[in-house]
Chain A
């Protein structure tokens, strides 16, 4: 439905509008946001993200198409932000619309899980101490 990589702040409302139809009784919207403590104990000031868009976008689309059939009929939008993000800002947004909520919840969870595993995007943690480190995703999902 809608798959993007952007440097702009993320907003859910346009994504919800992109996926919702009059046949949908449920919309599930997910935001991944920058949190103060990563997997370690060191407080983080912000994260910077980079992507390989020529591979990431087709992979996001493939995930969306899988999720739209896997649990029943669903419509998805997935947008990832790149660049420098501060605490509390959203790095990824997923919106799913479906006739019923079960399918919407399942498809949304599938999409974000698969994104973290399959989409070539990287994040660097910038610690308050001034140090920085690339942080790979944990497998399996925590």
Chain B
């Protein structure tokens, strides 16, 4: 299945793109997508603890299941205001 990964701020700069589509096995979790990304971009592991993940606009934990077409946002600490 395909998941659209959205990267913001410092994460976007590390990944080098605001958006990318990744192919993962059916039933893959949020953590699986994150682990794949962190393997490809080792600098992400430095900010893993402070990074929040949202699936289709709602915060999720690593063990949340993904579905085909989901939008997974990878978000460093917020800085609005």
Contacts and interface: CB of A to CB of B under 8 A. Distances in A.
Interface of A: 32, 49-52, 54-56, 58, 80, 91-92, 112, 115-124, 134-137
Contacts, number: 70
B66 to A, nearest CB: 17
B31 interface: no
B9 A122 contact: yes
B81 A124 contact: no
Contact of B81 (A52, A55, A116, A120): A116
B80 A134 contact: no
Nearest to A48: B9
Interface of B: 6, 8-10, 50, 54, 57-58, 71, 73, 75-81
Contacts of B57: 54-55, 58
A58 to B, nearest CB: 7
Identify whether the interface residues of A are mostly helix, strand, loop, or mixed.
mixed
A121 B10 CA distance: 12
A117 B79 contact: no
A137 B77 contact: yes
Given A52-B73, A55-B57, A124 B78 contact: no
Contacts of A112: 81
A52 B8 contact: yes
A137 B75 contact: no
B73 A137 contact: no
